[in-house]
Amino acid sequence: MPARCRVTVLYQPGRYGASVATLDDVTRLACELPEVTEGERHGNRTWFVAGKAFAWDRPFSKADIRRFGDGTSPEGPILAVRVEDLGEKEAVLAAHPDAFFTIPHFDGYSAILIQLQLVTEKALREAIADGWLACAPPKLAGQYLNR
């Protein structure tokens, strides 16, 4: 069962130029949003709003790695984040080709993958907020947007 978000990691602004984003940074950013809980789904850290997962740690399965064939699979922690629809998915992927990507397993599914070691803080923050908005109840999303 998901628990209320608790951020125990101290974030130092400006770190992203010198190091990479972590799942703890994801927790910090997600917990800035209303009514977020953190839990586990399929053994991986997952962030929820109103019982809906909007972001989750998404390590590659053996089948995912095989699909990369001779190419190398992205390294480091991978975050999956929901998007509003497939049109938004295509736009987000085009806007951030260095850090955002998809795999065949996600074909037809409104979510993107983010390579945390390459993403900027701004892009990560926006992706998490957009994922939250895609899953939050309309009333809660409206309150957040009108704050």
Whole-number Å distance between alpha carbons of 67 and 75: 15
Partner residues linked to 111 by β-bridges: 82
pLDDT of residue 137: 97
pLDDT of residue 5: 63
pLDDT of residue 2: 53
pLDDT of residue 12: 42
Task: Decide: helix, strand or coil at residue 145.
Answer: helix
Residue numbers in the chain where pLDDT is lower than 70? 1-18
Domain ranges of the chain: 3-141
Distances in whole angstroms, Cα of residue 2 to Cα of each of 45, 48, 58, 91, 119 = 10, 8, 17, 31, 26
Q: Is the dihedral of CA 16, 134, 77, 106 positive or negative?
A: negative
Q: pTM score, two decimals? A: 0.85
pLDDT of residue 68: 77
pLDDT of residue 9: 43
Is the separation of the CB atoms in 39 and 3 below 8 Å? yes
**Alpha helices per DSSP H over 1-120:** 23-30, 62-67, 86-95
Considering the segment(s) 3-141 as one domain, its CATH architecture is Alpha-Beta Complex (3.90)
